[in-house]
Amino acid sequence: MQPAPYTPDDLASDDPAPELLIRDLKSAARKANHDEVTRLLRECESHWGRGAVYAEALSWAARAYFSKGHVEPAAQRASDAYALSEALVRSGNAGLDTSAGQAALTTAQGAAIEVTAQIAAGAGRADEAVRYLREMEERHQGQAFTARIRKNLLQLTLVGERSLPLVFDPLPGSRTMEDPIGQRPVLLFFWAHWCSDSRAQGRTLSRFFESLQGSELVLVAPTRLFGYITKGTPAEEAEETAHIVTVLDADYPWLRDIPRACVPFGRANFERYGASTVPTLALIDRHGAVCAYHPGVMKLETLQSLVAEAGG
């Protein structure tokens, strides 16, 4: 059954999350229904003004257009989203007095940059995309969405290069490990305690490591604090750390059973590897060269093939 279409009556004027509108906006953009996209954006503007929520809506339209190969409208909406976001930041009129406003603006900026770079790369202009992403990374250094910029940059540049250095400070209660890079093949698995895709990837990794015979492959599984625990409940550092340990024991017990596995803890590895998507996997050969960098879930067959090619 198809969901009912959005109508203005679905939304109260103080509703912080226009989920129904965004759902219909993405659907219209994927179908290249430009008139409907324009109508929904006008509705968004009438309810929330030309602020962070509107900028985020523009970025969703850009992503949806691009996902179906509608490059020109994707480029235009991405450009609009980025220009509006920058104007809002300069003016201080971005709705940044609320966490919802901050999140909306962060999404808009990161997605606009991502789509712009992907359009260039998809058109065979990878060098242009890399230059653009490096410029954006420098311009927005320290912002919440810079890991997303770095993710896109690394997707274009990291494979075949020397691996990036890692910090091996362990999650409390987990084993310590000396840096194995350059000595053994290494699989990186960036995960988050709240993420169902991380758990699904974990089950795949468990089956994969059960099938290995005589392999020297090391599993390095970084995680970090996110500021909340179950159902987005805000949490102090100690409480969230304890929650992560509980999740590790409940959902990833196999990690403790693998002799050559560790769980580094902290933001540094996530930032360095641009792990704004969880899970993110990276495969490093025994010489320290990156063989694969993959934001998102990886299928078992793909993992098996990559590790075999890397001599793992």
The pLDDT tens digits for 131-170 are 999 999 999 999 999 999 999 999 999 999 999 999 999 9
10 Å CB burial of residue 289 (0-12, 13-18, 19+) is middle
- Do 152 and 213 have their domain in common? no
Residue listed under structure tokens 């468990």: 206
Q: Between these two residues, 205 and 7, which has the higher pLDDT value?
A: 205
Q: Which domain holds residue 270?
A: 186-309
Q: How confident is the model at residue 14 (pLDDT cuts 50, 70, 90)?
A: very low
Determine which helix (DSSP H) or strand (DSSP E) holds 281, and give its type and residue range.
Answer: strand 280-284
Q: Give the residue-averaged pLDDT of 224-237.
A: 94
Q: Give the residue-averaged pLDDT of 279-308.
A: 97
Q: Residues near 49 by Cβ (< 8 Å), separated by ≥ 6?
A: none
Q: Which amino acid is at 213?
A: Q
Q: DSSP states of 40-67 as a string?
A: HHHHHHHHH-SSHHHHHHHHHHHHHHHH
Where would I find the H helices in 212-299?
237-251, 253-257, 268-272
Q: How confident is the model at residue 115 (pLDDT cuts 50, 70, 90)?
A: very high
Q: Is residue 180 part of a domain?
A: no
* pTM across the whole model: 0.90
- Do 126 and 192 have their domain in common? no
Q: What is the pLDDT of residue 4?
A: 44
Torsion angle of the four alpha carbons 115, 44, 24, 83, in this order, in degrees rounded to the nearest 10: -10
Q: What is the pLDDT of residue 310?
A: 87
| Of the listed ranges 41-50, 160-169, 288-297, the one predicted with least confidence | 41-50
The dihedral built from the CA positions of residue 56, 61, 66 and 67, taken in this order, carries a sign that is positive
Q: Is 93 a residue whose pLDDT tops 70? A: no
* Residues linked to residue 223 through DSSP beta bridges, in sequence order: 265
Q: What is the pLDDT of residue 231?
A: 86
- For 19, the 3-state DSSP assignment is helix
Q: How confident is the model at residue 12 (pLDDT cuts 50, 70, 90)?
A: very low
- pLDDT tens-digit series, residues 238-263: 999 999 999 999 999 999 999 999 99
Share of residues in the chain with pLDDT > 70 (%): 93
- For 186, the 3-state DSSP assignment is strand
| Residue 175 CA to its chain's centroid (Å) | 27
- Do 98 and 227 have their domain in common? no
Q: What is the pLDDT of residue 95?
A: 58
CATH classification of the domain holding 226: 3.40.30.10
Q: What is the pLDDT of residue 6?
A: 39
295, 153 Cβ separation under 8 angstroms = no
Q: How confident is the model at residue 94 (pLDDT cuts 50, 70, 90)?
A: low
- Do 153 and 194 have their domain in common? no
Q: What is the pLDDT of residue 262?
A: 97
Q: What is the pLDDT of residue 13?
A: 36
Q: Is 227 a residue whose pLDDT tops 50? A: yes
* Residues linked to residue 293 through DSSP beta bridges, in sequence order: 282
Q: Give the residue-averaged pLDDT of 19-43.
A: 96
Q: Give the residue-averaged pLDDT of 269-287.
A: 97
Q: Is residue 163 part of a domain?
A: no
Determine which helix (DSSP H) or strand (DSSP E) holds 308, and give its type and residue range.
Answer: helix 300-309
Neighbours of 151 (CB within 10 A): 21
Q: Give the residue-averaged pLDDT of 32-40.
A: 98
Mean pLDDT (the chain) is 92
CA triple 97-98-103, angle to 5 deg: 115
Q: Is residue 162 part of a domain?
A: no
Number of domains in the chain: 2
- Do 193 and 151 have their domain in common? no
Last residue of a domain, one of 157, 173, 198: 157
